[in-house]
Amino acid sequence: MRWFWIDRFIEFESGRRATAVKNVSLSEDHLHDHFPGAPLMPNALVIEGLAQTGGLLAAEHGGFVERVVLAKVAKARFHFSATPGDTLTYRTTIEDINASGAVVSGTSSVGERLQAEVQLFFAHLGEDVAGKWLFDPASLLAMVQLLGVYDVGRDAEGNPLKVPEELASNS
């Protein structure tokens, strides 16, 4: 089972930056356990939402050919807790990307209030390390379409993003 910690993308500029939103709802099961009587979204799940936003940005930059996994949370600072009714806006920027991985900085905010700041390291895994079973192309394509990447996505010249051959041919 996959968990999505993003509701939709509202901006996606290939190789540069992405913005996504997450509506924190009292109907989410994890809020009833963390903490009973005073629900809040665990900070680890805010990091995961930022990692999904930045990880898809890094993976799309390479046409989804490389397997991109979160390798390290280098920095995470939280200014307040997210609670039901909040809409988190995740903003991620690729600081560096190369053959071995990517460095992504990100913020989470509620309205104009900065909620969290992170720096994330992603690793690019070869086919020999991470078989295709970890990243089923059809499921990945369905996920990025559901999240609206191709609805709002633009390349460096401002043209709409197209589904990369790697995903289209394997779906």
* Mean per-residue pLDDT pooled into runs of 10, the chain (171 residues): 85 97 90 80 96 95 87 97 96 96 98 98 78 67 91 94 82 60
pLDDT of the residue at 1: 39
Domains of the chain with bracketed CATH: 8-164 (3.10.129.10)
pTM, to two decimals? 0.92
Catalytic residue among 34, 61, 79, 124: 34
pLDDT of the residue at 123: 94
d(CA 25, CA 17): 26
pLDDT of the residue at 169: 77
Pairing relationship of beta strands 101-110 and 113-125 according to DSSP bridges: antiparallel
Q: Is residue 61 annotated as part of the catalytic site, yes or no? A: no
81 and 40 Cβ atoms separated by less than 8 Å: yes
Angle at 97 between CA 92 and CA 99, to 5 degrees: 145
